[in-house]
């Protein structure tokens, strides 16, 4: 599986978190939007880590993961 984009997003999240951390140090607090972005980045990195640890992105597993997502995803 081509998971380079997952690593690219992880890198973007890491850089974003660094910028937001510096911003918080300078201003003494984060805005609501900055806190939301922090939570989003931390959530992505956490989920990516969980998926990596459970080998959900290996070629054999990805088909099962895709099927689970299709079964559990609804469009509102």
Three-state DSSP class for residue 6: helix
Cα–Cα distance between 46 and 27 in angstroms, integer? Answer: 27
Find the domain containing 53 and state its range: 4-72
pLDDT (0 to 100) of residue 1: 46
Domain count for the chain: 1
Higher pLDDT, 73 or 40: 40
Given pLDDT bands bounded at 50, 70 and 90, which one contains residue 54? confident
Cα–Cα distance between 40 and 48 in angstroms, integer? Answer: 12
């Amino acid at each position: 599986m081509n998971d380079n984009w997952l690593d690219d997003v992880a890198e973007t999240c890491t850089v974003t978190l660094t910028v937001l951390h510096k911003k918080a140090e300078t201003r003494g607090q984060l805005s609501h939007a900055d806190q939301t972005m922090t939570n989003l980045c931390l959530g992505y990195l956490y989920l990516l880590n969980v998926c990596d640890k459970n080998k959900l992105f290996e070629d054999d597993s990805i088909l099962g993961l895709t099927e689970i997502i299709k079964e559990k995803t609804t469009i509102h």
